Amino acid sequence: MHEDGNGGGRGVGSHLSGSGVNQPEFLALEREMTVLLRRARANQGEMAREVHPDLESSAYGLLVRLGECGGQRATDLAAFIGVGKATMSRQLRALEELGLVAREPDPADGRAWLVTLTPEGQERVGRVREARRARYARRLAGWDPREVSELARLLHELNHGMEK
């Protein structure tokens, strides 16, 4: 998750006065985001343990990224997750020891390495993500599918805005 602290979004600070952030819609947004992020952190820890009992919750996002995007350089993973090279190296070493990722030469640059999910990593991450989607489907069963699509669209827009 990218949180760069600059407010992100569509120039929010450019059209709000200092007191504008106390408008009811921003108070409600801050409250609901706090709840969502707290639950997301707790869920990430649970999902990490479902993948492997010894997996750090912070490494779960790496596995998801590799599952979605395929092989990645460690430097690209570090930039995406927002950690330093030393932290990334430590996490990747731990994931290798658990048999969830492997390093292979980058075909585009023989000096570099790509990190990929092992078949075991693919199976475990896929199983956990499928179970998570099933939980979402159960919890949102009363929602109209268009509302679920709209929520996904708005969250995508929010995430995209936070990357700026």
DSSP output for 37-52: HHHHHHHHHHHHHHH-
Q: Do 13 and 7 contact (CB within 8 A), yes or no? A: yes
Measured from the Cβ of residue 25, the count of other Cβ atoms closer than 10 Å reads: 8
Question: 77-124 pLDDT, tens per residue?
Answer: 999 888 999 999 999 999 999 999 999 998 888 888 999 999 999 999
Question: 35-87 pLDDT, tens per residue?
Answer: 999 999 988 999 999 999 999 988 999 999 999 999 999 999 999 888 999 99
Going by C-beta distance under 8 Å and a sequence separation of 6 or more, which residues neighbour residue 60? 44, 47, 48, 51
d(CA 44, CA 142): 25
**Helix/strand/coil for 11:** coil
